[in-house]
């Protein structure tokens, strides 16, 4: 069959409005948020049903044509970009909420539903869906599950993986694997759905998911506190967890330099506290029943007496809470305005974070004297976005030539502390080769065996993740 025939069959399989060859329409799908990876593709498929996805994959598998699944295109490691002219499969039109079961505390959604819409549907049903990240207005459930996304509420609710009850997946050969159950207990052999969560579109295409819903928080306390060190932040976290009975949902570390970048570049932001501090934490505790304000205030008062906290502010309204969160959520955007940055998404055991920061900053200073460390993020679950900005007045391109050397130094330290070189963003193409250095040969080989078994013709997002 000629390539032209294959394309004709694929267009038919995707339905009349289900494809595009218009370069203008395809272009935004080819570049990602950081403009780090530029792809190319001449065919965008936009199926609307599971049956269409199934027909598309069957054709790709028979004809050996590679295909790259894409959701909201907010991934940060290049996994969703067709780097070698592959066919692009956008799940964006599979955006129906199939069922909301408030009594059963579950929701069934198609893969292309935007995360914020899932949160909204849960809210309308009087429930809560806790997955939350700065890209939630564009990122889709299919992408969230395929990257096992984390975000700000992992501390309390776990990453995306922990929020899944069931999945519907189309396998490489087009077979539909219906695992779309809402059971809380099901010990009938291997838990196959887990294979596809965090697989970055390399083992199958997720077309729908059954997700857990939770009681809506009725009491929410949001505070921004100045702490002298990461050690103090961790001590404060533990105290807050003990006193609230583990109700802390978010606990985010922000360095002074990060706050300064935000104040300088992001409109309508202001320093929440009067005096500068080397570090801050933004924390949130929520409860469906307990009023938490008094407890949180007494923990902070005690922490101020013992020197763990220098100063703190509590949000008195939702608007104030939103403006504190705006500081945290603007960090990546603000860093862009400061020139080039070299970024890492790493995790270590929480107690090892101070050592990671100290050793990592020292190692990078040796490689690029003057590089400005901007480590921030989910300190509560050991996940730091260990970023470095170009030295003040430095040359962006020269700085970026150091990316591999800087990353190797950071990753070696992470590994020596028992950590992971990708905490929540996945491997994509960015860490595809790097991961092989840090996993045991047995782990890598088992992953490759799975890939070869589920996708023997290597048509699903080839060259991404633990590639074969």
**Sole binder of ligand FAD in the list 13, 133, 348, 364 (CB under 6 A):** 133
In this structure, the number of other CB atoms found within 10 A of the CB of residue 442 comes to 8
DSSP states along 176-229:
EEEE----S---SS--THHHHTTSTTSS-EEEEEEEE-EEPPSEEEEEEEEESS
CB-wise, 209 or 295, nearer to ligand FAD?
A: 209
Distance CA(374)–CA(371), nearest Å, equals 10
Q: Is 144 in the site for ligand FAD (CB under 6 A)?
A: yes
Distances (CA, A) of 167 to 47, 48, 183, 320: 18, 17, 12, 38
Q: Is 380 in the site for ligand FAD (CB under 6 A)?
A: no
Smallest distance from ligand FAD to CB 381, Å? 11
Q: Is 332 in the site for ligand FAD (CB under 6 A)?
A: yes
Secondary structure E strands in 42-175? 44-45, 67-70, 87-90, 97-101, 106-110, 127-128, 164-170
Q: Is 250 in the site for ligand FAD (CB under 6 A)?
A: no
Distances (CA, A) of 321 to 118, 220, 317: 22, 10, 6
| Contact window for ligand FAD (CB under 6 A) among 131-139, 217-225, 266-274, 291-299 | 131-139
**Sole binder of ligand FAD in the list 44, 87, 105, 149 (CB under 6 A):** 149
| Residues whose CB falls within 8 Å of the CB of residue 67, separated by 6 or more in sequence, listed in order | 45, 56, 57, 60, 86, 87, 88, 89, 459, 460, 461
**Sole binder of ligand FAD in the list 75, 174, 380, 419 (CB under 6 A):** 75
Interaction pattern, residues 390-429, with ligand FAD; x per rule: CB under 6 A:
----------------------------------xx--x-
Q: Is 150 in the site for ligand FAD (CB under 6 A)?
A: yes
Distance CA(53)–CA(63), nearest Å, equals 15
| Contact window for ligand FAD (CB under 6 A) among 17-25, 148-156, 180-188, 234-242 | 148-156
Q: Is 33 in the site for ligand FAD (CB under 6 A)?
A: yes
**Sole binder of ligand FAD in the list 10, 59, 87, 91 (CB under 6 A):** 91
Residues near ligand FAD (CB under 6 A): 33, 68-76, 79-80, 91, 111, 133-135, 139-140, 142-144, 146-147, 149-151, 200-201, 205-206, 332, 424-425, 428, 461, 464
């Amino acid at each position: 069959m000629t390539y032209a025939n294959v394309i004709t069959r694929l267009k038919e399989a995707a339905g009349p409005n289900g494809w595009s060859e218009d370069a203008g329409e395809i272009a935004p799908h080819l570049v990602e948020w950081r403009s780090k990876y530029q792809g190319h593709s001449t065919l965008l498929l936009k199926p609307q049903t599971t049956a269409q996805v199934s027909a598309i994959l069957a054709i790709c598998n028979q004809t050996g044509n590679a295909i790259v699944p894409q959701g909201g295109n907010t991934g940060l490691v290049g996994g969703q970009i067709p780097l070698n002219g592959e066919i692009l499969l956008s799940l964006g039109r599979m955006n129906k909420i199939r069922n909301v079961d408030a009594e059963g505390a579950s929701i069934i959604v198609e893969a292309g539903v935007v995360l914020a819409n899932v949160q909204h549907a849960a809210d309308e049903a009087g429930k809560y869906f806790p997955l939350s990240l700065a890209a939630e207005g564009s990122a889709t459930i299919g992408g969230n599950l395929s990257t096992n996304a984390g975000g700000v509420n992992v501390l309390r609710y776990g990453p995306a993986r922990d929020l899944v009850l069931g999945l519907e997946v189309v396998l490489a050969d087009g077979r539909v694997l219906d695992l779309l159950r809402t059971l809380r207990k099901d010990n009938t052999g291997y838990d196959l759905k887990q294979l596809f969560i965090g697989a970055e579109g390399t083992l199958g295409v997720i077309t729908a998911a059954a997700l857990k819903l939770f009681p809506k928080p009725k009491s929410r306390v949001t505070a921004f506190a100045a702490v002298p060190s990461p050690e103090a932040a961790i001590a404060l976290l533990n105290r807050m967890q003990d006193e609230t009975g583990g109700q802390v949902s978010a606990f985010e570390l922000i360095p002074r330099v990060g706050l300064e970048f935000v104040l300088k570049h992001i409109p309508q932001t202001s320093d929440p506290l009067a005096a500068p501090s080397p570090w801050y934490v933004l924390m949130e505790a929520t409860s469906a029943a307990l009023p938490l304000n008094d407890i949180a205030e007494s923990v902070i008062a005690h922490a101020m007496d013992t020197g763990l906290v220098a100063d703190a502010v509590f949000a008195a309204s939702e608007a104030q809470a939103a403006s504190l969160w705006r500081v945290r959520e603007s960090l990546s955007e603000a860093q862009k305005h400061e020139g080039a940055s070299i970024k890492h998404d790493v995790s270590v055991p929480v107690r090892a974070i101070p050592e990671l920061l100290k050793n990592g900053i020292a190692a990078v200073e040796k490689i690029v004297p003057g590089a400005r460390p901007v480590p921030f993020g989910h300190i509560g679950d050991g996940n730091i976005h260990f970023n470095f900005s170009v030295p003040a007045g430095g040359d962006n391109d020269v700085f970026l030539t150091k990316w591999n050397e800087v990353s190797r130094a950071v990753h070696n330290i992470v590994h020596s502390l028992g950590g992971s070189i990708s905490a929540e963003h996945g491997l994509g193409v960015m860490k595809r080769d790097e991961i092989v250095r840090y996993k045991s040969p047995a782990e890598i080989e088992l992953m490759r065996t799975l890939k070869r078994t589920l996708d023997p013709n290597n048509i699903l997002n080839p060259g991404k993740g633990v590639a074969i």
